[in-house]
Amino acid sequence: MITALAQYFKTIKIKGNIYLTLAVNLAIVYVLFTLCRVLFYAFNSQYFSDIDFWHFTRMLVGGIKFDTSGIFYTNLLYIFAMLLPFAFRYNGIYQLFLKWIFWVSNSIALLANCSDIIYFRFTLRRTTASIFNEFENEVNIPSLFLKFAVDYWYIALIWMVLVALLVVAYRKPKLFIPVKGFTQHSVYFVNGLVLLALLMGLTVGGLRGGFRHSTRPITLSNAGEYVKEPLETAIVLNTPFSIIRTIGFKGLQKVTFYENEEELASIYTPVHTPNPEGSFKPLNVVVIIMESIGREYIGAYNPHLKEQGYDGYTPFLDSLISESFMFRYSFSNGRKSIDVLPSVFASIPMMVEPYILTPYSSNKLNSLATILKPKGYYSAFFHGAPNGSMGHQAFTTMHGFDKYYGMTEYSNDNDFDGMWGIWDEEFFQYFAKEMNSLPQPFVSGIFSVTSHHPFIIPKKYEGKFPKGILPIHQCVGYTDYALRRFFDAIKDKPWFSNTLFVFTADHPNEPSFDEYRNNLGSFAVPIFFYHPSSNLKGVSTVPAQQIDILPTILGYLNYSEPFVAFGKNLFEKEVAPFTVSYSNSTYQFIMDKHFLLHDGNQSVSLYNYRTDSLLQKNILGERESEANEMETFVKAFIQQYNNRLIGDKLMP
């Protein structure tokens, strides 16, 4: 036995050793992941301020923890197969198979990291597993992917270079039969089994992010340990980890910041019990949601930029806003198109994950359609994309809308933009025509599509709209023109003067001014109300958000029945104004002139966003009383939101 053991250890070589080879190959992936992180920051540095060399180094070091988890998840099969304590792992065919597993799995992981270099600009966070649900109904994924690769060819080139480095740097173990005879095989197996148990134990620790029994598996929020502000967690994280760790999202956690329900309701409650002064006004309601048209693109929202020669790209919207009631500080409740319908039509914001992708999406709730149906309203929703896109048809159908009009109903593929749906001009004309036949009173909504990547407009309009400095700018001009033509088509219709029009956007897009690049500006969308036959005009500095649209419409109509909405009636002066959003594992709240970041347990930072639009001065330590007041409200909001969604209590 001793002789066999001695002979076995003589076979152990440093060069070509299978365990050392495994370590070297994984180290190659670590280097490539770190390179992706550096590239991610280099291409998106305009979104991050006050990052010096040492802070960036800290984030790089912190990122190793998340890279370890992401790399081990990605290479779990490869690691296990390399550690199997059998001699056949030295077989040439077996090693060829493992080499291809290594190349393919890590090439996909690198592709995910490279894609987020660009996709981050549209979501301001690392991609999570919700992306699979978000695009599951899209029928043009291959063409979208091809278009992405063409438009951002330099990212595709970077990915190919990284894959080439992965292939060239790969090392394979020395192929030989290390043992002979039953005794040596037994020693080899036992030794390999011990090493398998030890190294797989280390792998599990790497997956979890630690080895202590008390250590919970790391999540996206753990990246906060290495950053100064939540947006920076995107640098620390990597995309494979973010996707894998959000697969099978289990839902919200019930919280009890306030044991007494009466105390909780006195601080904040989503239950509205309106007491209007007048009788119900059966106005028609039209909600117009503009794809990606943030406040930055609209001149009327940026008078402070006129001195820089900036007028925006929406001359028609600017003229309409002068006849409307506009909220100067208005924000979205999410950063994705999939978030906007629950926010606008059901007053449910995106918290943690998009509402319609959570287990609570089947909860009973009151939508604008269901609330107004007993008042005799007919409801319809229009979206020029293929039916089923973004889950809009499912949401409107599930929550009381009488009719959905999509690309199928439009029934003319000659007007298809080749990517996302029907051109805005044609679909808005279709919208105008169909509304003429809707029973009155009606509530209708439309979601435009053209101002979306790849940011193209009909060839007949090439050169008509200012191209600006970003590809989206001429698309914004085109959609603005489509809206002008839409209003030209309906302004003489008998129902027009009896209609309340509400405007917003799903989320902003790529910014060109610093104030729209930070945690707050990245949610800046327009919200304004237009009623042709009333004196509903003016500008308010009350902070507004998408979830305020439903209660504000109902308030304007003098609706008198109880309903549940997480937002507020913007025209009701007695209600404390606030806005809420969620980004990078952090709750973001506005109350009056202050903007608070809260991690769910305690406040992180506080800014006066009206005098500090770039959010450069954290005044948390200087405004303790304001922060405490806001934190009291924040905790009440979180408790109401979490517990009502968990308990299916979204009805009065």
Residue 164 or 122, more confident: 164
Amino acid at 510: E
- 242: number of CA atoms within 13 Å, CB side? 24
Q: Which whole number is the average pLDDT over 518-522?
A: 93
pLDDT of residue 176: 62
Burial of 241 (0-12, 13-18, 19+ CB in 10 A): buried
Write the pLDDT tens digit of every residue in 135-145: 777 777 788 88
pLDDT of residue 180: 55
In CATH terms, 278-573 corresponds, of 3.40.720.10, 2.60.120.10, 3.40.47.10, 3.40.50.720, to 3.40.720.10
Look at 127-131, 396-400, 587-591, 645-649 and tell me which has the smallest mean pLDDT.
Answer: 127-131
**Whole-number average pLDDT of the chain:** 89
Backbone angles phi, psi at 213, to 5 degrees: -65, -30
SS3 content of the chain, % helix, strand, coil (to 5): 50, 10, 40
Is residue 115 a contact partner of residue 43, using CB atoms and an 8 Å limit? Answer: no
Backbone torsion region of residue 398, taken as left when φ is above 0, otherwise alpha when ψ lies between -120 and 50, otherwise beta: alpha
Write the pLDDT tens digit of every residue in 282-307: 999 999 999 999 999 999 999 999 88
Distance CA 473, CA 458 (A): 14
Q: How far is CA 440 from the centre of its chain?
A: 36
Look at 8-22, 266-280, 635-649 and tell me which has the smallest mean pLDDT.
Answer: 8-22
pLDDT of residue 177: 59
Q: Which token pair is 588?
A: 């973001």
pLDDT for 440 beyond 60: yes
pLDDT for 643 beyond 80: yes
pLDDT for 8 beyond 60: no
Find the DSSP H helices in 491-561.
549-556
**pLDDT level of residue 4 (50, 70, 90 thresholds):** very low
Find the DSSP H helices in 14-52.
18-44
pLDDT for 341 beyond 90: yes
Distance CA 389, CA 383 (A): 9
Is residue 519 a contact partner of residue 231, using CB atoms and an 8 Å limit? Answer: yes
**pLDDT level of residue 219 (50, 70, 90 thresholds):** confident
**pLDDT level of residue 208 (50, 70, 90 thresholds):** low
Measured at the alpha carbon of residue 186, what is the angle toward residues 180 and 192, in degrees to the nearest 5?
A: 100
pLDDT for 206 beyond 70: no
pLDDT of residue 500: 98
pLDDT for 370 beyond 90: yes
pLDDT of residue 211: 57
* Closest to 608 measured CA to CA, from 590, 630, 586: 590
pLDDT of residue 398: 85
pLDDT of residue 252: 83
pTM (two decimals): 0.85
pLDDT for 92 beyond 50: yes
pLDDT for 205 beyond 50: yes
Write the pLDDT tens digit of every residue in 231-254: 888 999 999 998 988 887 766 889
pLDDT for 181 beyond 70: no
Amino acid at 640: Q
**pLDDT level of residue 74 (50, 70, 90 thresholds):** very high
Q: Which whole number is the average pLDDT over 277-284?
A: 96
pLDDT of residue 481: 98
pLDDT for 209 beyond 90: no
Question: Would you list the DSSP string of 342-372?
Answer: HHHHH----BSB-GGGSGGGGS-B--HHHHH
Look at 202-211, 415-424, 446-455, 640-649 and tell me which has the smallest mean pLDDT.
Answer: 202-211
pLDDT for 462 beyond 90: yes
pLDDT of residue 138: 76
pLDDT for 540 beyond 80: yes
- The H or E element containing residue 430 is helix 424-435
**pLDDT level of residue 186 (50, 70, 90 thresholds):** low
pLDDT of residue 405: 97
Residue 511 or 88, more confident: 511
CA distances from 371 to 401, 439, 560, 568 (A): 11, 17, 11, 16
Whether the ω angle into residue 454 lies within 30 degrees of 0, i.e. cis, is yes
- The H or E element containing residue 168 is helix 153-169
CA distances from 299 to 57, 293, 315, 377, 508 (A): 40, 12, 8, 35, 15
**pLDDT level of residue 191 (50, 70, 90 thresholds):** low
pLDDT for 589 beyond 90: yes
pLDDT for 132 beyond 90: no
pLDDT of residue 450: 94
Which residue's structure tokens are 């036995």?
1
* Closest to 47 measured CA to CA, from 112, 116, 150: 116
Question: Would you list the DSSP string of 60-106?
Answer: HHHHHHHHHHHHHHHTHHHHHHHH--SGGGG-HHHHHHHHHHHHHHH
Q: Which whole number is the average pLDDT over 211-218?
A: 54
**pLDDT level of residue 202 (50, 70, 90 thresholds):** low
pLDDT for 362 beyond 90: no
Residue 4 or 516, more confident: 516
Which pairing describes strands 594-598 and 538-540: parallel, antiparallel, or unpaired? unpaired
pLDDT > 90 in the chain, percent: 67
CA distances from 435 to 91, 148, 376 (A): 70, 36, 16
**pLDDT level of residue 218 (50, 70, 90 thresholds):** confident
**pLDDT level of residue 148 (50, 70, 90 thresholds):** confident
Q: Which whole number is the average pLDDT over 618-639?
A: 94
**pLDDT level of residue 122 (50, 70, 90 thresholds):** confident
Distance CA 474, CA 132 (A): 30
Sequence ranges of the domains in the chain = 2-244, 278-573
Q: Which token pair is 15?
A: 């060069």
Write the pLDDT tens digit of every residue in 15-51: 668 788 888 999 999 999 999 999 999 999 999 888 9
pLDDT for 255 beyond 60: yes
Backbone angles phi, psi at 383, to 5 degrees: -150, 120
Q: Which residues contact 17 (CB under 8 A, 6 or more apart)?
A: 173, 174
- 497: number of CA atoms within 13 Å, CB side? 5
